[in-house]
Structure 1
Amino acid sequence: MSTRTKRPITASRLAVGAILAMWVAVNAFSTDQTPVIDSEPRLSDLGQYIESSLLEWDLPGLAVAVVLNDKVIFAQGFGVKELGKDDPVDAKTLFQIGSTTKAFAAATLGALVDDGLLQWDDPVVTHLPWFALKDPSVTRNVTIRDLLAHRSGMPAHAFPALTLLNAREVAERAHMLDNQTPLREAFRYSNQAYGIAGLIVEEVTGRDWGDWLKERLLSPLHMSNSEGSPYSIWEDSYVAPAFLGTAPSGQVGIEDAPGMNVAMPHGVDRDGVRRVLAWQSYDNLQAAGSMASNVMDMANWLIMQVNAGDFEGVQVLNATTVQEMHAPQISSQSTFLFTDEGRPVSYGMGWTRETFKGKTYLSHGGGIFGFPAYAALLPEIKAGIVVLANGSTWTPYYPHQEITARVFSRLLDLEDEDWKSRTMTQTQAILEQVDQIFAAQDAARVKDTEPTLPLSEYLGTYTSDVSGPFNIFMDGDRMRLQFEGVGAFSGELEHWHHDDFRLFFDGGDGQAYGSSLVTFTVDTQETIQQLELGAFGVYRPANQ
């Protein structure tokens, strides 16, 4: 029987594909918890329903906005910005929104299509002549549409989350990685592809992606509180400079962003206790997941989406451009717990497309640690919802999807279903599977073994062509791993068995990686040949 602590719903899972930031002056925020409603009787009990969800999912805070036609019919915050403090979440509290950024990324390119500065089917090398993948044929033929539809075959490698590489350095390493699928033959989620798409925007406009985002989208949508990077909100030392890194300042709280209406992300430590995390930079893949926003701002974005690019009489994007982003580009997998079974699922450009109760359903989640985010549309009835939370869960979007299903079924005038029970049943099934995986890992452990070599022989610098270097060293009696650069990825190594060590991350949501094993390969001459860093690739001693 496994001795590992049973995982609560509040333990985060690995969501590297995932990944942001924002701010505004205190007098720009309302702390009034009264919902901003254009009187929609079908949602009269929504606040009470969300309060119960907040408790059942053990979330510190949550904010929700709902739009219908061209109106905001609900916008309210629930819970607190940071555990242990009384500051309430409201409709203007900023959260990182992770990969929900991807729809904005597609729209920044759509704006360039509208302006006649590029086309969806332009080859990437037309705008980035230096760009290269391992296969020269794919390099020549991969297009902007391919990047945004996750059909380029580029891998979902996590090395940008470990290091302090900038966006260009990350993109220039693309040729070192094997494509996972042939071009246009399969859906393969890739944050790197979106990072490259953001660089195309910068090349064409001569502007930083975040600046173009503000000028072309956020400003006309009156999203004045939203930002393209956490560094626009926080002083540098309070931000984890790598997605899986740590803030140079150490512990961070809402008091470190004076005058800002910000929520703090919460993960779970190794003992299963909620802990406050720092905001995490995704700036080396900025267009993939670096934004921060609040539900009031996001409501304006949703209104534009369901009104064919129009917001308050201004055509922010051409209707054909919005239609193209929503249109199926490649078959993919369902991301919605309550999708209509047996119906096609596809990915557009920044949106997953499926059906709910016979209606087209578009959605996307965001997986920054401690900041699960979710946005969804029912374009046929011009409805949209955004749900932002500040606590990680093993099933990161299930609370959001439960609320979404409740809202959309009401707006479709359907009878209520027990969404909560269905969601919790599925969650418990997933948790049981997770426990079985860890139990099998524990059972496979050979106890009372020793490493092949003295611990001192495992210390030193390791690197690879794609990522690194990092150092393994002793800190007192603890074995530590640290990538180069203040705030880069780091963690503690504990011997597991033979030449395997369990790795506990300092940054991110540590318990999500409690099962990550670092494996050293030692040859017959008792020389370390390589180190396998879990899902993050193979590294060799730097002196080889």
Structure 2
Amino acid sequence: MRSLLMCLSILLVLAAPPSLALAQDELTGVAPLPLTGERRAEFAAYVDATLAMMGVPGAAVGVVQGNEIVYLDGFGVKELGADSAVTPDTLMRVASVTKPVTTTMTATLVDDGRIGWDTPVVELLSGFALADPVLTQRLTVADLFCACSGVPNRDAELGFNSFALTPARLIAAARDFPLTAPAGERYQYSNQMFSIGGYAAAAAAGGGPNTLYDAYTLAMRERVLTPIRMERSTFSLADVLADGDYAISHIVNLAGETHPLALLEDQSIYTAEAPAGALWSSAREMARYVQTQLAGGLAPGGARVVFSENLALTWEPRVAIPANPGGPPVLNEMLAGYGLGWFVGEYQGQRVLSHGGTAFGFTSEIAFLPEADLGLVVLTNGPQVGTAYFFTQAIKVRLLELLFDQPAEIDPFLPGLLDDLAADTAQILARLGPVDPSSVAPYLGRYSNPALGEVVVALRGDRLLFDAGELWFELRPLVGEEATYLFYDGPLGAFTDTVTFREGAVGQPSLVMAVTEAEALTYTFESVAPVATPQP
């Protein structure tokens, strides 16, 4: 599922007129200027001002140059309404920035001969199968990491099943996923497939069918985190809470109100998909990871973590990413392809490796330019909406503009973003009507879907709830669309997903949930219990 406001924001920015694009210099072979003096002061002021403009609660930023960490600072607060300031050591969930760290760990196993990028997955995970038996036998470890397996993203199934999901169940569910493209031919970002790749690496590291999560986190600790001196980085919420220096995640509802999200709710969503997005870290420790990438696999201090040859293989693009028409050219160029856990592109001729992360309430970005020996880390506790995402992108682009002495290319897109976002949100709110108890009464009850499990549709006072247990949403009717309701609010914010109620073939109601992913998905729920009585 995707946050409603994130989708709106991306559409707004990508629809900006191409006349705003500025001519840029060819920078192949050009060394960046040092981040010192006035440039350093201007960069810090830009981060501070953009944080305020975009409404992001807090951020930590690190810059690596010449294989040294030359900048580390914190901005804003750990939690709205509190005074505790974010520092370079504040722990935040880095979300999908976990992905390149996972492939770095896998590369160390390739170094040791315990796995190959071309090893068939079925040789490592006996329970793995896809809908296509032929593809099942030939799909490799690299195919799971390249965002090109042929399986589209199905995040709804992660969210709805998160409280009962285990690595074994995640792997077993793959056999029911539809294949919508030949393997290796289309960019299709899939958290499930990437997670299975991480668990295949865990099996190669010695994990059994029932110990894959523990084997994965142990391999990450022993092979990557400890050698790079990322001692406080962790997959354990208990470790984070015991540490004490952590940020609180924030989400936004359809009314545009930002508020904190309980970390226990956030944690449950990501445990089973740990290889794809569950790592907690700080700007200081992620900067050490970027140093290791820039040094070709040597950790700060000189210890060899991974051989440069296998590390470089993760940087090679495996599939092209279609450009967003009318979008900022600078972002299209930096996101031209996907490797093994890395977005691959360029900035005016300079190669760029990057990855962003958007969790419920955290947004992050790391990027580096190998030939320029330059890297960046941005961690935020901002909502997974367009404002936080474009904050991280603006900081990345502005750093490059300053150090390569280029004109501003992202800034012309930013000033009108919040106003346009508010206007589009207002249009959606205007389409929402009040819940009519008599209209929804025939549809109240318990429903089931094979992939998403059971839900209850019930009235609580004047609120219509779509309740999946620990995960629930308030529904509001869309005016002019028969029996169709929008996910208006809930513990994880607002979504573009809708629910449409229908009369079933045997007189029992059913509902169809339409999910906004990169590829549209629908899930049909059938009634499994008599209609419930409205509750006060």
Q: If the TM-score is normalised by the length of the shorter chain, which range does it land in? A: 0.7 to 0.9
C-alpha distance in 1 between matches for 2:288 and 2:189: 27
Q: Give per-residue Cα distances to partners, 1:327-374, cap 9 Å, x unaligned.
A: 111111459945277799211111111110210011111001221101
C-alpha distance in 2 between matches for 1:162 and 1:44: 45
What SS class does the counterpart of residue 456 from structure 2 fall into? strand
C-alpha distance in 2 between matches for 1:396 and 1:448: 31
Partner of 2:160: 162
| 1:533–1:539 Cα contact (<8 Å) kept | no
Letter in 1 for 2:296: A
Partner of 1:482: 467
Cα distance, 1:179 vs. partner?
Answer: 1.1
| 2:54–2:387 Cα contact (<8 Å) kept | no
Q: Is 1:98 matched with 2:95?
A: yes
Q: 1:403 aligns with which of 371, 379, 395?
A: 395
Cα distance, 1:168 vs. partner?
Answer: 1.6
What SS class does the counterpart of residue 73 from structure 2 fall into? strand
Structure 1 unaligned runs (5+)?
Answer: 1-8, 16-37, 235-256
Partner of 1:54: 51
| 1:153–1:181 Cα contact (<8 Å) kept | yes
C-alpha distance in 2 between matches for 1:430 and 1:171: 41
CA, structure 1 residues 373+39, in 2 after alignment: closer, same or farther (shift >3 Å)? closer
Partner of 1:294: 282
Q: 1:285 aligns with which of 264, 273, 276?
A: 273
| 1:156–1:189 Cα contact (<8 Å) kept | yes
What SS class does the counterpart of residue 387 from structure 1 fall into? strand
Partner of 1:528: 509
Q: 2:321 aligns with which of 315, 329, 332?
A: 332
| 1:449–1:498 Cα contact (<8 Å) kept | no
What SS class does the counterpart of residue 226 from structure 1 fall into? coil
| 1:62–1:390 Cα contact (<8 Å) kept | yes
Query: How many pairs are equivalent?
Result: 478
Cα distance, 1:530 vs. partner?
Answer: 3.9
Cα distance, 1:450 vs. partner?
Answer: 6.6
CA, structure 1 residues 202+449, in 2 after alignment: closer, same or farther (shift >3 Å)? closer
Cα distance, 1:231 vs. partner?
Answer: 4.4
C-alpha distance in 2 between matches for 1:66 and 1:14: 30
Following superposition of structure 1 onto structure 2, how do residues 118-517 of structure 1 map, counting pairs within 5 Å?
118-158=115-155, 159-163=157-161, 164=163, 165-205=165-205, 206=207, 207-234=214-241, 260-279=244-263, 280-281=266-267, 282-311=270-299, 312-333=301-322, 337=328, 339=330, 345-392=336-383, 393-412=385-404, 414-417=405-408, 419-424=410-415, 427=417, 431=421, 434=424, 438=428, 442=431, 455-484=440-469, 488-496=470-478, 498-508=482-492, 510-511=493-494, 513=495, 515-517=496-498
C-alpha distance in 1 between matches for 2:398 and 2:510: 55
Letter in 2 for 1:540: E
Tell me the TM-score normalised to structure 1 length: 0.81
Identical residues among aligned pairs (%): 27
Partner of 2:18: none
Tell me the TM-score normalised to structure 2 length: 0.82
| 1:225–1:293 Cα contact (<8 Å) kept | yes
C-alpha distance in 2 between matches for 1:322 and 1:348: 11
C-alpha distance in 1 between matches for 2:188 and 2:413: 29
| 1:504–1:516 Cα contact (<8 Å) kept | no
CA, structure 1 residues 51+450, in 2 after alignment: closer, same or farther (shift >3 Å)? closer
Cα distance, 1:525 vs. partner?
Answer: 6.1
C-alpha distance in 1 between matches for 2:356 and 2:245: 22
Letter in 1 for 2:293: Q
C-alpha distance in 2 between matches for 1:173 and 1:95: 29
C-alpha distance in 2 between matches for 1:343 and 1:80: 30
| 1:338–1:356 Cα contact (<8 Å) kept | no
C-alpha distance in 2 between matches for 1:121 and 1:79: 45
| 2:254–2:489 Cα contact (<8 Å) kept | no
What SS class does the counterpart of residue 59 from structure 2 fall into? strand
| 2:95–2:357 Cα contact (<8 Å) kept | yes
C-alpha distance in 2 between matches for 1:469 and 1:340: 40
Q: Give per-residue Cα distances to partners, 1:71-123, cap 9 Å, x unaligned.
A: 00000001111111111111101111111111011112111101110100111
Cα distance, 1:176 vs. partner?
Answer: 1.1
Cα distance, 1:540 vs. partner?
Answer: 1.6
CA, structure 1 residues 155+343, in 2 after alignment: closer, same or farther (shift >3 Å)? closer
| 1:61–1:81 Cα contact (<8 Å) kept | yes
Letter in 1 for 2:159: A
| 1:12–1:268 Cα contact (<8 Å) kept | no
Letter in 2 for 1:431: L
C-alpha distance in 2 between matches for 1:321 and 1:289: 22
C-alpha distance in 2 between matches for 1:449 and 1:97: 38
Deviates most, 489-498 or 430-439? 430-439
C-alpha distance in 2 between matches for 1:450 and 1:54: 41
C-alpha distance in 2 between matches for 1:100 and 1:344: 15
Cα distance, 1:396 vs. partner?
Answer: 3.8
C-alpha distance in 2 between matches for 1:59 and 1:460: 39
C-alpha distance in 2 between matches for 1:10 and 1:47: 31
C-alpha distance in 1 between matches for 2:113 and 2:141: 14
| 2:328–2:410 Cα contact (<8 Å) kept | no
Structure 2 unaligned runs (5+)?
Answer: 10-33, 208-213, 517-521, 531-536
C-alpha distance in 2 between matches for 1:421 and 1:84: 31
Deviates most, 48-57 or 331-340? 331-340
CA, structure 1 residues 448+305, in 2 after alignment: closer, same or farther (shift >3 Å)? closer
Cα distance, 1:477 vs. partner?
Answer: 4.1
Letter in 2 for 1:160: L
Cα distance, 1:273 vs. partner?
Answer: 1.9
| 1:134–1:178 Cα contact (<8 Å) kept | yes
C-alpha distance in 2 between matches for 1:274 and 1:435: 14
Cα distance, 1:307 vs. partner?
Answer: 1.1
Letter in 1 for 2:234: E
Letter in 2 for 1:411: L
Cα distance, 1:201 vs. partner?
Answer: 2.4
Higher helix fraction: Structure 1 or Structure 2?
A: 2
**Over aligned residues, Cα RMSD in angstroms?**
3.0
What SS class does the counterpart of residue 310 from structure 1 fall into? coil
C-alpha distance in 2 between matches for 1:436 and 1:179: 37
| 1:187–1:331 Cα contact (<8 Å) kept | yes
Letter in 2 for 1:208: A
